[in-house]
Structure 1
């Protein structure tokens, strides 16, 4: 999917960005349709989780500038010109803060899904001072969307979890963008589904590397990641604790209370909820709550219009009725972007780490 197309000064070239396997690329095409990739590694403007987030501009002589980031730094400004040397980074905005700190090293992985052999891209953030001879607790952190992607981009939340001593695994399961139409549509009218197997296969692959404590597995995710986190604890008891952030729990109630009901009912389901109640229920994490034994905290903004807090309240009440250890964190005045302010991001991470610590193997 092309984003933010801009014409060159003489309207001879069209510049645009797109995502390719978890990386954001700047490219241009001429009037004959010839495509040139100009720069990779655009990003750095989405600070919380490692989502795509970038900007670029085009000036005279086809000079282009863009936000350049990687897993160790948020956005700096880089610039280049087609047909000349490689783009150069012009700023180092965070060096006085980050240069003297040891950050998590983030490594790419490719995983084969147990569901059907689909190849799945993932990343592992290793804690500062990582020792492969030790055993570390692991956090599986799941992206939302579901039609979006994570990548090798800076993430405050991932870095904070790693700084607390966790190996952090994040994955682009089927349905994620940047792998083409076929891969994205694998979850069409089938979400959640085999994306669960993609995530669990990634966990198993990292465990096989030998440095993860299998008695200290944790899972969290927000929005679509909250859906999958709730789905996971309904399917397995492998995780010691979970944090479900701003989830959908009951698809029927969601499509009748969320802010974009016509879209969700038209594209995410083959029928309206009263026409196919069984189909909606079969894909609802609430249908699996009878299986849950994992201590599960919920975390949602009280003003969330996308995944209304009534979804969180349903799951919380269901867990309480079952006698499962649970807690509900309500963020006053917060919409779907529950970490819009730095203080909210800090509070979110602190709450998640406190819940995991409370339910750690050494509790």
Structure 2
């Protein structure tokens, strides 16, 4: 082991623990990771960010990754936010039945798993029920777009590389067959009603949550037009929104500068709509 740069002070980190809760339909035990704010005080309740992973077969694991990623979770923790990272149905690592439990059910059973986790953290006294925020990338961006059509509990949301329109998505993405498989093997012309049912664009009139849209300029996995559709529609509805285009970026930021900027951009959006002039934490 070495002790290089011993004179550089390490930043404080929020501790992370594994939580579990029962799914709303009673089928599964759902796990998630809760990262506490730095200097957490159990007598206080805090703003909570619900962070949804991609995939949907992605999975959050309890390990420290020193490399840069799309979301700098400890940055949010240092700013007084708690962060919940659930593994809803559809995630890898919990068996075949769990992995395929959200096939042809995107936005419903999986979202219920997420919201049950949010309620668990509220019941613990960690999160304030009036200070909830939402962010996700790729499938997590999809869930962000769909969630704001189903609930107004979030003060603000940030959709990263989201796919709000499965009809236009399946004919423009570079992995159309993957999406078809998650729709039960039916093409959109065979089940147009099903694709609509699971697309936020066809429910967008329900949205009241201020929603930020972030998308890579050169994204082939989730084409840029997906973000553009959602942003334009939100604007026409009068919902507070903004669109951040990441230059030279495929399906997620690769350049270190852009990786560092994404969390700052999201933090600015969350602060604007949650606590423009108020305290970082609230008493229970």
TM-score when normalising by structure 1: 0.71
Distance 1:107 1:334 in 2: 33
RMSD after superposition: 1.9
- Structure whose residues are more often strand by fraction: 1
1:300-341 superposed Cα distances (whole Å, 9 cap, x missing partner): 001000001100011111101111000000111100022x22
Taking the TM superposition and a 5 Å limit, the aligned residue runs for 1:351-362 are: 351-362=265-276
Distance 1:94 1:235 in 2: 50
Q: 2:59 aligns with which of 129, 133, 149?
A: 149
- Find the residue that maps to 1:318 and give its secondary structure: helix
1:104 aligns with 2:47: no
1:332 aligns with 2:247: yes
Q: 1:343 aligns with which of 238, 257, 266?
A: 257
Distance 1:232 1:267 in 2: 18
Structure 1: gaps (5+ residues): 1-90
Aligned residues of 2:17 and 2:33 also touching (Cα < 8 A): yes
- Structure whose residues are more often helix by fraction: 2
The structure with more radius of gyration: 1
1:287 aligns with 2:202: yes
Match of 2:281 in 1: none
Match of 2:36 in 1: 126
1:128/1:98 Cα in 2 relative to 1: closer, same or farther (>3 Å)? farther
Which structure has more relative contact order (CA 8 Å, sep 6+)? It is 2
Q: How many residues align?
A: 272
TM-score when normalising by structure 2: 0.91
1:276 aligns with 2:191: yes
Distance 1:97 1:356 in 2: 34
Taking the TM superposition and a 5 Å limit, the aligned residue runs for 1:1-363 are: 91=1, 96=6, 100-154=10-64, 157-338=72-253, 340-363=254-277
Distance 2:31 2:6 in 1: 33
Structure 2: gaps (5+ residues): 278-284
Runs (4 or more) in structure 1 with deviation over 4 Å come to 91-99
Distance 2:131 2:191 in 1: 39
Distance 2:78 2:200 in 1: 31
Q: 1:93: Cα distance to partner? A: 8.2
